[in-house]
Chain A
Amino acid sequence: MESLLAILIGVLFASAIYMILRRGIIKLIIGLAFLAHACNLLIFTIATTVRGKAPLIEEGEKHITEGVADPLPQALVLTAIVIGFGVMAFAIVLIQQVYQTLGVGDVVELKENDTPINKISNNDNNED
């Protein structure tokens, strides 16, 4: 199971990097989503995976019996998923705004929009 997950994580990281390096901003966001999933799966796998056994202490025992998955990283992953979901939602709204305001869907074109600093603005808008 772990080796299978390890391969999956590797594939996810590879595709995440590939997608992040592409030009389209939607593809970039998809890449970032893959990256987050790969990290979550990595933490999940590090905790070892055991099927069908709850990490509960048997009655009368003091310690957990061997052969269960560590539950703490799963809790961490849950937290990371929720945070990642929020950030991803923001990122998607952001690229929608970028597309509407700048009319570009491409990081190379986006770059041309960040240097209007030398233009002289002759209105009060510039007063912050």
Chain B
Amino acid sequence: MNALLIAPILFPLILGLLTIAFWKYRNIQRIINLIGSFVFLIIGFLLLKEVLSEGIQSFQSGSWIAPYGITIIADTFSAIMVFITSFMALIISIYSISSMGNVTLICAKMLRKRRQFSYYPLLNIMYMGICGAFLTGDLFNMYVWFEVLLISSFILLAMDGTKEQLAATFKYVTINLVSSAFFLIGIGFVYGMTGTLNLADLAVKIPELENQALVTLVSVFFLICFGIKAAVFPLFFWLPASYHTPPISIAAIFAGMLTKVGVYSLIRVFTLLFVQDVGYTHNILLWIAGFTMLVGVLGAASHFDMRRILAFHSISQIGYMIAGLALYTPLAIAGAIFFMIHHTLVKGNLFLVAGLVNKVKGNYDIRNIGGIANAYPFLAVLFLIPALSLAGIPPLSGFWAKFFIVKPGLETGEYIMVATALFVGLITLYSMIKIWTYAFWSKDPGVIKESIIKQRVFSKENVFMTIPIICLIIAMLATAFYPEPFFQIAQKASNELINTTDYVNAVLGGNAK
């Protein structure tokens, strides 16, 4: 089963190289990427199926015995994340058929066009980095995968070379270099304390250390590093400053997947490695979670650009996931994982809808557009379902996601966190209603020229933008009306995260202490 474990890393690489080979032929690139994305989804699905039926799968690269080589390991949590990545990859690749391609003004856009040739290769290399970070069982290797996905995300963010994009990329690069430095410092200290970087080996050795205060200190380095990537409360400022600038398909994959890599790593290290002083570290996490929810949603309430509103909501929703981790009960972590599934689907979807709104109305600022509900009722429905789900209206998936965070919160007596979570849900609803009233219900203020608003939602090229949105809505409704199988998988993943012995045994063999 080694091949299946390594496939989510190798396959995007092959796909990236293939699309580089057809550098100048956009249509061939698109076809390769579309077929490849289907295969990628199948790989993701097979891996998830394998892990669910056979338990944790691991593989030592180069056949080095466990703590010495680089371990590739897929537990249920990793497999879920890889599967979602492959699903989003397919969605984005369908969406990109129309959204990235038709640059209508030929001459002045040559430069822009040339830059966009690197879109598919970079996207695939980024998926490789994301899957690598999900599947690796080695701390330093995780750093390497982070750098792989970061460098491709840098270029994707700056791809059109517009002023806003360059300014945004500059901030994004700076903050991520600082975050990588924190990661390296953390790795250095962990190695200095234990002499190993294998996650499973660390899970055995860290509890045996005498100086547990130092372990807690080192955990803060990881908290800062992954916190920057996940955009949690005091460290999120780069996200709203950069996520509104790239093309919408890139923004969707960034908001859907990239911050999740940070959350994944946080959950991984704070369930596997740094659990000796839960009262201290996870209490910090709980406060961070509360502030992240609150500040994110207040930021969203104050903005009018759809992409900025959605970017701020990403921050706010990250808070719920961190809250699930911070409560540190099996139900809460299962809730956090369910929330990650829900949020990837919904947030990706809302960004794609924003792209479609921009396509038909020519602007992202909700004060400049209006009347969509009358002109394009179908588009309005496409927006309304994920928007209500994000706000947590039952019976949509957001309701279940929030429910599984709030319930363990009540059980453990963290009433302030629960109150914050519910209050934030209310403001989320307010800000979704704001988009709805301004962009969909109000009259078109008529500031955008008529020539821009010439395309219909179901013109030939827009079909490719609508199909992925519908796919995401179907997936989201599936998690809403049949949450049980999804939640059972999340619960299985959470049990594996809390009882680390399975993970350790899968890597080190049965002889672990």
Contacts and interface: CB of A to CB of B under 8 A. Distances in A.
Contacts of A90: 151, 154-155, 173
Contact of B364 (A86, A95, A117, A124): A117
B45 interface: no
Interface string A57-84: 0000000000000101100100110010
B105 A102 contact: no
A82 to B, nearest CB: 10
Interface string A94-110: 11011001100000001
Contact of A94 (B166, B185, B451): B166
Contacts of B105: 123-125
B421 to A, nearest CB: 29
A113 B191 CA distance: 42
Interface in B237-296: 241, 244-245, 247-249
A3 interface: no
Contacts of A126: 358, 362-363, 452
Contact of B170 (A38, A46, A83, A98): A98
Nearest to A83: B147
Interface residues of A, number: 46
B99 interface: yes
A83 B146 CA distance: 11
A94 B242 CA distance: 15
A47 to B, nearest CB: 8
Nearest to B166: A98
A14 to B, nearest CB: 14
Contacts of B195: 70
Given A90-B154, A91-B177, A122 B144 contact: no
Size class of the B contact interface (CB-based, 8 Å): 35 or more
Interface stretch (B18-26, B30-38, B156-164, B381-389): B156-164
B304 A28 contact: no
Contacts of B187: 43, 76
Contact of A80 (B109, B160, B184): B184
A116 B363 CA distance: 12
Contacts of A101: 161-163, 166
B201 to A, nearest CB: 13
Contact of A118 (B161, B304, B358): B304
B419 interface: no
A47 B197 CA distance: 13
A80 B147 CA distance: 10
A126 B248 CA distance: 11
B447 interface: yes
A23 to B, nearest CB: 13
A5 interface: no
Nearest to A88: B177
B184 A116 contact: no
B169 A42 contact: no
A110 B307 CA distance: 21
Interface of B: 99-100, 102, 104-105, 109, 140, 143-144, 147, 150-151, 154-155, 158, 160-164, 166-171, 173-174, 177-178, 180-181, 184-185, 187-189, 191-192, 195, 197, 241, 244-245, 247-249, 304-305, 307-308, 355, 358-359, 362-365, 367-368, 447-449, 451-452
Complex A-B, nearest 5 residue pairs according to Cβ-Cβ distance, in ascending order = A46-B192, A128-B247, A43-B188, A39-B184, A114-B167
Interface of A: 20, 25, 28, 32, 35-36, 38-40, 42-43, 46-47, 70, 72-73, 76, 79-80, 83, 86-87, 90-91, 94-95, 97-98, 101-102, 110-111, 113-114, 116-118, 120-128
Given A36-B177, A39-B181, A127-B359, 10 more contacts: A43-B188, A94-B166, A111-B167, A114-B241, A118-B365, A118-B368, A122-B362, A126-B452, A127-B102, A128-B249
